[in-house]
Chains A and B, each alone.
Chain A
Amino acid sequence: MKERMYRISAFAERVMLELLRDPLSYVFALGFPLVMLIVMTLLSESIPPEAEMTVFRIDNLAPAVYVFGLSFLMLFTALLVSKDRTEAFLVRLYISPMSRADFLLGYTIPVLILAVLQGSVTMATAFGIAAFTGDSLNPAGMAAVLAVSVPAALLFIGFGLLFGVLFSDKTAPPLSSVVISLSSFLGGMWMDLSHMSGVLVMLCDLLPFRHAVDAGRMALAMSFDGIGMHLAVVSAWTAAVYLLAIPAFRKKL
């Protein structure tokens, strides 16, 4: 067990260094949510209050931007894995005494750390914005957002692993942007789904994205009633994606 941890952390360290030494990580994972929050808040200033658009209010916006930001981690993961595959770095892992579960963990843990870091930047920015706009955010709620978003973070990392192992570093990015767009449109990030109905909303309910956003929003408001259902849907998707990724890593050289 201890030996296993040693191997996993050696590989996780490599993935972490690889991410931290890539400027893209800072631009997308950390800079992007920050800019997005500020721009969206400025935009929402021009929406008249009569419109009753609440999605751009900072307490609704911050969790949405966080989940949106997480979807970029999927892209990073996919690029890293597909590069490791095409450059045969994966071959080294395959022939090493590490098991597949070991190196899947080794990929996952550093990106998850980056996700929490990203969430912290997002929440800190939101806190600053709230101070400006005269709203207030509960620090306990902000911490809760980070906690309840772990399944969502894993979901996107899992998608990244899956796309990375199945597709080339040319195909994986466009596929990732499909998921990014889906999550943004069907996640109720920029529109209020609660007053809508129909096939589209049913689809939103089936997919994990709106549940991830809703869970974040509930956590920020510290109202946890019914959050279990949202987390269950996200977790089920996450489990499914990882269950697909594991055999995919065996098949693809």
Chain B
Amino acid sequence: MSEKSEIAIRADGLVKRFGAFTAVDGVSFDVERGTLFSLLGVNGAGKTTTIRLLTGLLRPDGGHAEICGYPAGSTDAARLIGLSPQETSTAGNLTVRENLIMTAKIYGFHDAAARADNIIGRLGMGEFAGRKSKHLSGGLRRRLSIGMGIVTEPKVLFLDEPTLGLDVIARRELWTFLEELKKSVTVVLTTHYMEEAEALSDKIAVMANGAVKASGTLAELRTVSGSAAGERLENVFLRLAEGGERR
């Protein structure tokens, strides 16, 4: 696959309106290849809508976005991205293995079974490979959903609230997996858990009311917000999101 750019994702002035309501209001950021980027914000901040614009699910009303140099929503970009949406998004009556095989085949891979088994191994889901996804626990189903996002070997992986509804143990397991994963894939994740963004991210964008209030490394965010060195992200966030209260 050709790679035209060292920047994996470029969002440039993205705007999305639903009727009179502006859900995404001029969002810009760059994500470098091989890093993990977090979109942090309260519910309704515009994280999911931003992901939908970047994955080509929605067309922006303004601005534009690129994936590895290709316009978001183009077929070239589609082949480079993987997604684990906020919702379940697995086929309930199919087993873990069948879900992975189907996904790989839809992307045209002929070694789908081998890919599926590889992912099952990496996800540590061997004992559940033959279980229907509707019978999986929330944590395991989320893991499968991420597996379906990476079985196609994307360059860029979008994870929308990957730890939503998971218990502490499942969340920590997923963190470990993401730590490993980000060595090979550029990851964008959305979350409203501060400690998650703090633990995993190379860079963080703080979103409120559809806009990016600040973005950069945690150290940079501390500086921008006038926080002390070593300040927890939670306090930094509260300072940055000020005025951007929940709608």
B2 contacts A by Cβ under 8 Å: no
A95 touches B106 (CB 8 A): no
Alpha-carbon distance A14/B94, docked complex (angstroms): 7
A96 touches B78 (CB 8 A): yes
Alpha-carbon distance A10/B94, docked complex (angstroms): 13
A97 touches B105 (CB 8 A): no
Contact with A along B89-105 (1 / 0, CB 8 A): 11111100010011101
| Tally of contact residues, B, Cβ under 8 A | 32
A50 contacts B by Cβ under 8 Å: no
B177 contacts A by Cβ under 8 Å: no
Alpha-carbon distance A83/B102, docked complex (angstroms): 18
The interface residues of chain B lying within 8 Å CB-to-CB of A22 are 93
- Shortest Cβ distance from A194 into chain B, in angstroms? 44
Q: Closest residue of chain B to A87, judged by CB?
A: B88
Q: Closest residue of chain B to A92, judged by CB?
A: B89
The interface residues of chain B lying within 8 Å CB-to-CB of A17 are 93-94, 98
Interface residues of A in 1-29 (CB under 8 A from B): 3, 6-7, 10-11, 13-14, 17-18, 21-22
The interface residues of chain A lying within 8 Å CB-to-CB of B55 are 95
A143 contacts B by Cβ under 8 Å: no
The interface residues of chain A lying within 8 Å CB-to-CB of B93 are 17-18, 21-22
B148 contacts A by Cβ under 8 Å: yes
B46 contacts A by Cβ under 8 Å: no
B105 touches A91 (CB 8 A): no
Given A10-B102, A13-B102; A91-B89 close (CB under 8 Å): yes
- Shortest Cβ distance from B151 into chain A, in angstroms? 11
A89 touches B94 (CB 8 A): no
| Chain A interface residue bracket vs B | 20 to 34
- Shortest Cβ distance from A94 into chain B, in angstroms? 6
B162 contacts A by Cβ under 8 Å: no
A229 contacts B by Cβ under 8 Å: no
B174 contacts A by Cβ under 8 Å: no
Alpha-carbon distance A89/B78, docked complex (angstroms): 16
Given A17-B93, A253-B52; A87-B87 close (CB under 8 Å): yes
Residues of A within 8 A of B (CB): 3, 6-7, 10-11, 13-14, 17-18, 21-22, 83, 86-89, 91-98, 253
- Which 7 A-B residue pairs are closest in the complex by CB-CB distance? A10-B105, A88-B87, A88-B85, A88-B89, A21-B93, A18-B93, A87-B88
Q: What are 11 contact pairs spanning A and B, CB under 8 A?
A: A10-B101, A10-B102, A10-B112, A14-B102, A17-B94, A17-B98, A87-B88, A88-B86, A88-B88, A97-B75, A97-B108
Supplied contacts A10-B106, A89-B88, 13 more A-B pairs, CB within 8 Å: A11-B106, A14-B94, A83-B92, A87-B90, A88-B85, A88-B87, A89-B91, A91-B83, A91-B87, A92-B83, A92-B103, A93-B106, A95-B57
